[in-house]
Amino acid sequence: MVTEEKIGNNIPLDGAEGHVTGTSEYVSDISKIENELIVDFFYSTEPHGEIINIDLEEARKISGIVGLYTYKDIEGENKFGPIIKDEVLLAESILEYVGQPIVIIAGESKKAIKLAKKTIKIEIKKLPHILSIEEAIEKNQFIGETRVIERGDIEKEFQKAEYILEGNTRNGGQEHFYLESQAAIAYPQENNTLEIISSTQNPTEVQNVIAEILGIPFNKIVVKTRRMGGAFGGKETQATHPAAMAALVAMKTKRPARIVLSCDDDMITTGKRHEFYNKYKVAFTKEGLITALKVEFFSNGGYSNDLSTSIRERAMFHAENAYFIPNIKTIGKVCKTNLPSNTAFRGFGGPQGMLNIESIIEDIAIFLKIDAFDIRRLNCFGIEKNNTTSYEQEVSNNTLPELMDKLLKTSNYKERHKQIEEYNKNSTLYLKGISFTLVMFGISFTARFMNQASALVNIYTDGSIQVSTGGTEMGQGLNTKISQIVADEFCVEPKTVRMMITSTEKNNNTSPSAASASTDLNGTAAKDACQKIKTRLIEFASNYLVKDNSEHKPSINAIEWTYDGIYDKRISNKKITFKELVKNAYLNRISLGERGFYATPQITLFDWNTGRGKPFLYFTNGAAVSEVRIDRFTGELKVLRTDILMDIGKSINPGIDKGQIIGGFIQGMGWLTTEELKYSEKGELLSHSPTTYKIPNIQDIPEVLNVDWIENGKNVVNIRQSKAVGEPPLMTSISVWTAVKHALSFISNGEIPKLDAPATSEEILKAMSRFPISMKV
């Protein structure tokens, strides 16, 4: 019986002291070995073209250059990809985007490599290129199959609809902007084996891709990840490329090889969050009840698939967000363009899907001249009825109505809405807006096979514990939460538990740390291992505690396991500590190590032929209210206040969870307001540094930011009744963007304002310029 649970306590982030003192070790901090090589690459400056000739002769003569490698030096398979094998490590005959690697350079110094880049001569025949979604649609350039999810009869509903609106929404991409760029070190070892240190969310993917490129079995590669300085999805699949380059050099030269991309090169050559362009048609009543919706999602995948098709599918799963729509059809296509392959980013398509429906609801509210909150409340998923998604998954344990009702009161939304209406009637300098939006984010990988995890727990004879999982720590607090789970299982202090470096030799065939499911999967696997060990220890204790007592026979049901010690409740005066128990268990040859495994239950394989299935174990819900102020002459945006209320079940670590909510909101706000990717006409990324790409700073944060969550003890399907909290909070930021739209409605003369995301000052000014400004003297 646990008497002092560590679950629910604010245990400091694992490694926090090292982070603030600068002693935490990242890939670039690892001490260099004497004969270590520096790895870099020469990349394309053309978006599309045919390689006629590559001349490396001058570059080979440069002192300090050890190796120059093209696709011809790859002994295994140059093509790879997590879903479709359509990516290449090094360009072969065709170049497909600016930043595409052509030649790997291995050198003794950065100076030599820089000079080699200048002397490499390449002859290219330029080919027509596509950069925009519209051009890809026009030229029928798509990746993968078209997907459809459909329920009801939308055409019948459109024919009898009271009102119909048609329009489109657009959101831009987003740079991950992690503090640690893509980095890896490859150490050659005996018998043509390699050890890789990689800044990756997905050690198994790195292991597999390197092995395939080198043409060797997976077991000859061991990939390790201590931690990352941020990732946000950008290191789920795209950490494979630099790691494979370092591995190729190490295998060729038999010398350690290190690659650490500069911030500029990282931004230029890697993929982003997907830009989406969506067409919609919606039918609704005079009260704002949505009766039918058709949405066509078009995403910009870049030159290859990467994870684009899965990201498109999740956008479709979240096309209705938190709202029951009886007749709905969503169509999803991935556009092929001459840009770096876009990839996973926190939310994985969910933000794009949710932004679209929340924008549609704002449009309906403006059209009907009623409060958008009332439309959201009317259409919100119900408890007993109207509680199935478009793909017929039941929304069980639905807390959305509770969140709406509570936040409505705590945010004083209705009163502030009225105040803003009065303010905008009298203000000539500023406009204000307010919006209340919802989040219903499905938790699980949408690829069913990825919903599995393993863990290794070892207890030592002094009572200390080591835990190894397939999860990777990128600042999200995964290791801290798992250490709390393990500590709670054995009734010890979390400092007793040491989380080990993630390694493919200890945990094989692991899923990436993504989809907000890392604690769910790896924490439950660790718990499974703990319970297997604990079962053995309880059996041993039942014998050990009565060995000198003739009155009682061994009984596992009599064993009490507490923070005060382990004892037989029939002999309460005889307690032993955890340390004493494990030491004696070892002396009696009881195993103190175990592997745990977890496969997410209940979810089903989604059938795209029928558009039906249960892809998610549960939903993490949230609601947010944001109030904004716009300068009517410059378009400058200020977020005045945001109130966020979440349902995260029972929090394992409230401090970490609050940090995730705030961090997710701010990152999402950046995507929707300040972070704009700018490309030249030939596809060169122009905003490829902190000076040209604006993430939110302290001035952008709301002056008032209230964060809270409800008590939800009904979530019994997940580890310790918790809910995932990594990605869902990002979508609370949509309330900021829709608040801008609400503000613009006061000068739109009844028209629906056209506003793309991000709503930068320029975009807001452009939107306002469509409507005359009435000046009051």
Q: Which 3 state secondary structure label does DSSP give 147?
A: strand
Q: What is the DSSP letter of 519?
A: I
Helices 350-368 and 654-673, axial angle in degrees (round to 10): 60
Distances (CA, A) of 128 to 46, 266, 275, 543: 10, 25, 21, 78
- 245 touches 39 (CB < 8 A): yes
Closest among 533, 544, 449 to 486, alpha carbons compared: 533
CB atoms within 10 A of CB 209: 27
The position carrying tokens 């807390």 is 399
- Sign of the C-alpha dihedral computed for residues 742, 746, 747 and 752 taken in this order: positive
CB atoms within 10 A of CB 680: 11
What's the CA gap between 755 and 737, in Å, rounded? 9
Backbone angles phi, psi at 39, to 5 degrees: -115, 140
Distances (CA, A) of 670 to 44, 107, 517: 30, 38, 24
Buried b (16+ CB within 10 A) or exposed e, 494-511: bebbbbbebbbebbeebb
Instruction: Provide the token pair at 480.
Output: 């801290």
- 64 touches 112 (CB < 8 A): yes
> Environment class of residue 70 by beta-carbon count within 10 Å: exposed (0-12), middle (13-18) or buried (19+)?
middle
Distances (CA, A) of 623 to 36, 149, 410, 416, 727: 51, 26, 12, 17, 14
The position carrying tokens 């010398």 is 255
Half-sphere exposure of 264 (CA within 13 A, CB side): 5
Residues annotated as part of the active site? 727
DSSP state string for 89-146? SS--SEE-STT-EEEEEEES-HHHHHHHHHH-EEEEEE-----SHHHHHHTT-EEEEE
> Environment class of residue 306 by beta-carbon count within 10 Å: exposed (0-12), middle (13-18) or buried (19+)?
buried
Instruction: Provide the token pair at 682.
Output: 């030939």
- Sign of the C-alpha dihedral computed for residues 224, 229, 235 and 238 taken in this order: negative
CB atoms within 10 A of CB 557: 8
What contacts 24+ positions apart, CB below 8 Å, involve 546-552? 546/571
Phi-psi region of 370 (alpha: psi -120 to 50; beta: other; left: phi over 0): beta
Q: At CA 495, angle to CA 491 and CA 501, rounded to 5?
A: 110
Closest among 470, 458, 528, 455 to 504, alpha carbons compared: 470
- 477 touches 653 (CB < 8 A): yes
- Sign of the C-alpha dihedral computed for residues 556, 559, 560 and 566 taken in this order: negative
- 737 touches 630 (CB < 8 A): no
The position carrying tokens 């990152």 is 667
Annotate 281-350 with three-state secondary structure: EEEECCCCCEEEEEEEEEEEEECCCCCHHHHHHHHHHCCCCCECCCEEEEEEEEEECCCCCCCCCCCCCH
